[in-house]
Amino acid sequence: METTKSINGIKMAFSHLDKIFWPDEGYTKGDVIDYYNKVYPHIIKYMKERPESLLRMPNGLADKGFFQKDAGLNAPEWVKHVPLHSESAEKDINYIICNDKPTLLYLANLGCIEMNPWNSRLDTLDKPDYFVMDIDPSEQNTFEQVIETANVIKELLDKAGAASFPKTSGATGIHIYVPLGAKYTYEQAKNFANTIAIMTQEQLPDFTSLERTLSKRGKKHIYIDYLQNRKGQTLACAYSLRPKAGATVSTPLDWKEVKKGLHPSDFTMNNIIKRIEKKGDLFSGVLLKGIDMMKCIKQLESK
Partner 1 sequence: MHAIWSGAIGFGLVNIPVKLYSATQESSLDLDMLDKNGHANIHYARINAKTGKEVPWANIVKGYKYNDGYVVLTDADFEKVSPQKSKMIDINDFVKAEEINTTFYDTPYYLSPTKGGERAYVLLREALKQSGKIAIGQFVLRNKESLCILKPQDDVILLQKIRFAEEIRSYEDLGIPKNITVKPAELKMAHSLINQLTPKKFSISKYKDTYDEDLMKIIKAKAKGKKITAPKFKIIHNKSKDLMEQLKASLDTGTRKKAS
Binding site for partner 1 (CB under 8 A): 144, 147-148, 151-152, 155-156, 159, 184-185, 187-188, 191-192, 194-195, 198-199, 202-203, 259-260, 293-294, 297, 300-301, 303
H-assigned helices in 161-283: 186-203, 214-217, 272-279
Shortest CB 155 distance to partner 1, Å: 7
134 vs 148, beta carbon nearer partner 1: 148
Give 13's strand partners: 4
81-86, long-range: CB within 8 Å, 24+ apart, which pairs? 82/51, 82/122, 84/51, 84/125, 86/232
Q: How many Cα atoms within 13 Å fall on the side-chain side of residue 257?
A: 16
Residue 4 CB partners (closer than 8 Å, separation 6+): 11, 12, 13, 14
Q: State the nearest-atom distance from the C-beta of 145 to partner 1, in Å.
A: 10
Nearer to partner 1, 88 or 302 (CB): 302
Distance CA 154, CA 40 (A): 29
Smallest gap from residue 198 Cβ to partner 1 (A): 4
Query: Cα(first)–Cα(last) distance of the chain, in Å?
Result: 63
CA distances to 17, 107, 135, 162, 178 from 174, rounded to whole Å, are 31, 25, 5, 18, 13
Give the shortest CB-46-to-partner 1 separation in angstroms.
Answer: 26
CA distance 78 to 108: 16
Residue with Cβ nearer partner 1 (79 or 189): 189
- The minimum distance between CB 188 and partner 1, in angstroms, equals 6
**Closest to partner 1 by CB, 75 or 204:** 204
Length of the chain: 303
Residue among 16 and 230 whose Cβ is closer to partner 1: 230
User: Nearer to partner 1 by C-beta: 3 or 188?
Assistant: 188
CB of 191 to partner 1, least distance (A): 5
CA-to-CA distance for 155 and 120, rounded, in angstroms?
26
Least spacing, CB of residue 280 vs partner 1, in Å: 20
**Interatomic CA distance for residues 276 and 269, integer angstroms:** 12
Looking at beta carbons only, is 8 or 203 nearer to partner 1? 203
